[in-house]
Amino acid sequence: MNIFGRQINKARARWMALQILIIIDVILIVISMFFALPADFDQYFHIFDFCLCIVLMFEWGYRFYISKPKKIFLSQRSNIIDLIASIPFDVILPLLFPQAGLLKYLKILRLLRVVALIERFFHGIHRFIDKTYLDKIISGVLVIIVLFTLLMYFYGPSYGLFDDFYFVVVTLTTVGYGDVTPHTHNEKIITMFLIIIGVFVFSTITAAISSYLTDRLLDDEQKDITNIVEENVRPINDELAEIKKELEVTHKENRELKDEIRELKDLINKKE
């Protein structure tokens, strides 16, 4: 049990480290797509991205190796997306197509990798939204923004409609710049309710995302436990199979020996 626990902790640490690296890589790729990076930083970024691609490629290859059957693994959309996320297009494309005209597609391939990495991180955007109910939460936030903007507009005449909208968004997100502040009693009462709702809303979002990541971590742990058990049981099964074969050979030899003894007895009886 201690061995399993240590292996699970190592697997958990590897999973967390890989997710952090993926997030960093996505941020760097997006920045490189829209901004001109310094030469030194750009070189380090390409090295980091290439190393991460190698790690992802090895990880994908290991999952492919232990998967049974292989055809089902290759037919799954998530595994294809993971393979795309592990391909270093920045290195492969210039080597295969050194013509400058083809390099204009590099940004498109970078964008494809960003989408694949994000898809890999969330195990599917649709699954992420379904698990966290993020669509319902966002819908509720929009309703709250519209409702309190109208309340501030009709019951707090200190500002215009846009300023009221700006104040509601800033207050709801618990930022509170202070450039727009409530003046009347109605505005202050509405603001107090808005602050309380904002705390609950974003606590709910944080809890939903944390719950999703925890569930995913537990799923990965379950897979790791299964793999560890299979890796430990496989040698035993192989040994049992070898013992079974040896027993079958021994039984066959015993039957042949019995037949020879029987034939020998028959010969002795005939001579007598």
- Domains of the chain as residue ranges with CATH: 2-122 (1.20.120), 135-240 (1.10.287.70)
Give yes or no for residue 114 having a pLDDT over 50: yes
**For residues 118 and 192, which has the higher predicted lDDT (pLDDT)?**
192
Integer angstrom CA distances of residue 16 from 19, 54, 216, 220, 232: 5, 17, 11, 11, 25
Residue written as token pair 């197509």: 97
**94 upstream amide cis, omega within 30 of 0:** no
Render pLDDT for 193-225 as a digit per residue (tens, 0 to 9).
988 998 888 888 888 777 776 776 666 556 655
**Whole-number Å distance between alpha carbons of 129 and 122:** 9
Residue written as token pair 């030194």: 40
Cα within 13 Å of Cα(237), Cβ side: 6
**For residues 147 and 268, which has the higher predicted lDDT (pLDDT)?**
147
Query: pTM of the full predicted structure?
Result: 0.47
**How many residues comprise the chain?**
272
pLDDT class of 234 with cuts at 50, 70, 90: low
**Whole-number Å distance between alpha carbons of 258 and 241:** 26
**DSSP output for 80-96:** HHHHHHT--HHHHHHHH
For residue 1, the model assigns a pLDDT of 46
- Going by the DSSP 8-state scheme, the letter that residue 36 receives in this structure is P
